[in-house]
Chains A and B, each alone.
Chain A
């Protein structure tokens, strides 16, 4: 798989470390009433999406930026790559 890094251009996926579903960017509110359940779900429960999924890739062998990659889990097709920092700012 080739990941089209927004700053560095096309890079081989083997340069990256995979973290999983991009919902992990949104930590549960530590002051919430349902704190225990929220963190249980955050830690252990996954949508495990069948189709297009937003996921976190860390460019460990490169510029060490975190990316949000939109990829089809059925075909491995990548349609969008964003910097995680920008993605988070836009999706607050």
Chain B
């Protein structure tokens, strides 16, 4: 089924009886060329680019729950490419370029809205570091504009400019940043992958790997054994648990990150705003809710819920930045499990087991990376070589010392 304006028109006239499921319900076959474990954004994107870009056949995506039930449906939907380190910036800029054409690529309305993201700064030192970051971005061809206090005031008049401790001195603005409807990304990639013949198998949990003589031959699932030439794991949050079945230990800790949404409000907030003096980022959804988040809870967790001290901390940050939201009520909050890596950067690499490939360690930056992660993981799976922009995201960089530590925090995952 192809979506188009004409199709909507036709369905409107015929009582909407012709809509078909967005993707087929597949039953697992005995063997595939490539199996992707994890039916989230990254796994589905990988399957889609494998089929479309790299012309691979016989692909399956195994998902233990339902498509879009994990982190792709739990994030704060922000897209941006405002990193400082070269090794990251090239990757995230590639991702943003893919976001810009994703709806055409997957024939699905993902509501990509490039309404800008601003990172506020509150001191001279912070301004200097943002200038440096903005310069890195511009060297990579990314848009970055430094706004002074008056320019920020004009754009965002409702912020708290009277804060004596953390005055807003300006901000680094990326006009091409914005938000994407996160569920639609999962559904859209599933829809597009399905069209290329990818089998998406839900409620199929991998419980083990079939490994012999250093080669991965297939997976064991709750629906039986499935053979495959290549297996890609994209299960961020549960990476350690899954790779442990292959006898691997990872440079990753799982942590819980909470996100929040307020009751629906009239349009008050243009674009995405991040606070430079506390950990708080916010945008307004098309339904009107303020979608916001802050720091991870800070302790290892596989429970998809957090604790109250962080809720208080995030709300304090929000109210100190824009006191007006103190009047809005918090509607919902939830948690997702992050693969917090040891340097704050992801991993897209082969493993020492032939035929087994790993994608994970996304910390809490996985959503914006979805298209580039899928594309470069597909590149790796199809060609056995790294994609140019992801070639530094190796597993052995922790041993060689070539870590990519954007925040310079060292090997302490809960600080990234």
Chain A residues close to B by CB (< 8 Å): 1, 12-14, 18, 20-21, 40-41, 43-50, 53, 55, 71, 73-76
Contact of B251 among A1, A21, A45, A55 (CB under 8 A): A45
The docked-state distance in angstroms from the alpha carbon of A36 to that of B411 is 16
B188-215 with Cβ < 8 A to chain A: none
> Contacts of B412 on A, CB cut-off 8 Å?
20
The distance from the CB of A67 to the nearest CB of chain B, in whole angstroms, is: 13
Q: Are B414 and A76 in contact (CB under 8 A)?
A: no
> Contacts of A13 on B, CB cut-off 8 Å?
299, 307, 309
Given A1-B307, A14-B309, A18-B414: A44 touches B300 (CB 8 Å cut-off): no
Contact of A53 among B300, B342, B413 (CB under 8 A): B300
Given A18-B414, A43-B411, A73-B303: A48 touches B399 (CB 8 Å cut-off): no
Given A55-B300, A73-B303: A40 touches B399 (CB 8 Å cut-off): yes
Q: Are B254 and A73 in contact (CB under 8 A)?
A: yes
The docked-state distance in angstroms from the alpha carbon of A51 to that of B251 is 18
Q: Are A74 and B307 in contact (CB under 8 A)?
A: no
The docked-state distance in angstroms from the alpha carbon of A53 to that of B302 is 12
Chain B residues close to A by CB (< 8 Å): 240-241, 249-254, 298-303, 307, 309, 342, 398-399, 411-414
Q: Are A48 and B411 in contact (CB under 8 A)?
A: no
Q: Are B241 and A50 in contact (CB under 8 A)?
A: yes
The docked-state distance in angstroms from the alpha carbon of A20 to that of B349 is 26
B343 and chain A: residue at smallest CB distance: A44
Given A46-B240, A50-B240, A76-B307: A18 touches B252 (CB 8 Å cut-off): no
> Contacts of A50 on B, CB cut-off 8 Å?
240-241, 302
The docked-state distance in angstroms from the alpha carbon of A73 to that of B303 is 7
Summed over the interface, the residue pairs from A and B with CB atoms below 8 Å come to a total of 66
Which 10 pairs across A and B sit closest by C-beta, in order of nearness? Answer: A48-B240, A14-B309, A44-B398, A44-B251, A18-B299, A44-B342, A45-B249, A50-B241, A73-B300, A73-B302
Q: Are A40 and B398 in contact (CB under 8 A)?
A: yes
Q: Are A74 and B303 in contact (CB under 8 A)?
A: yes
> Contacts of A41 on B, CB cut-off 8 Å?
249
Q: Are B251 and A46 in contact (CB under 8 A)?
A: yes
> Contacts of A74 on B, CB cut-off 8 Å?
302-303
Q: Which residue among B298, B299, B398 has the maximum number of chain A CB atoms within 10 Å of its CB? A: B299
> Contacts of B254 on A, CB cut-off 8 Å?
48, 73
The distance from the CB of B314 to the nearest CB of chain A, in whole angstroms, is: 13
Q: Are A44 and B241 in contact (CB under 8 A)?
A: no
The docked-state distance in angstroms from the alpha carbon of A42 to that of B222 is 34
Q: Are A55 and B241 in contact (CB under 8 A)?
A: no
Q: Are A46 and B253 in contact (CB under 8 A)?
A: yes
The docked-state distance in angstroms from the alpha carbon of A43 to that of B398 is 9
Q: Are B303 and A75 in contact (CB under 8 A)?
A: yes
The distance from the CB of A11 to the nearest CB of chain B, in whole angstroms, is: 12
The docked-state distance in angstroms from the alpha carbon of A1 to that of B303 is 13
> Contacts of B300 on A, CB cut-off 8 Å?
20-21, 48-49, 53, 55, 73
The docked-state distance in angstroms from the alpha carbon of A22 to that of B8 is 58
Q: Are B253 and A48 in contact (CB under 8 A)?
A: yes
B397 and chain A: residue at smallest CB distance: A44
> Contacts of B253 on A, CB cut-off 8 Å?
20, 46, 48
Could you list 11 examples of A-B contacts with CB < 8 Å? A1-B299, A13-B309, A18-B298, A18-B299, A43-B342, A44-B342, A44-B398, A45-B250, A46-B252, A48-B240, A76-B301
Contact of A44 among B303, B411, B414 (CB under 8 A): B411
The docked-state distance in angstroms from the alpha carbon of A50 to that of B244 is 10
> Contacts of B399 on A, CB cut-off 8 Å?
40, 44
The distance from the CB of A79 to the nearest CB of chain B, in whole angstroms, is: 15
The distance from the CB of A71 to the nearest CB of chain B, in whole angstroms, is: 8
B307 and chain A: residue at smallest CB distance: A1
The docked-state distance in angstroms from the alpha carbon of A13 to that of B256 is 15
The docked-state distance in angstroms from the alpha carbon of A12 to that of B312 is 14
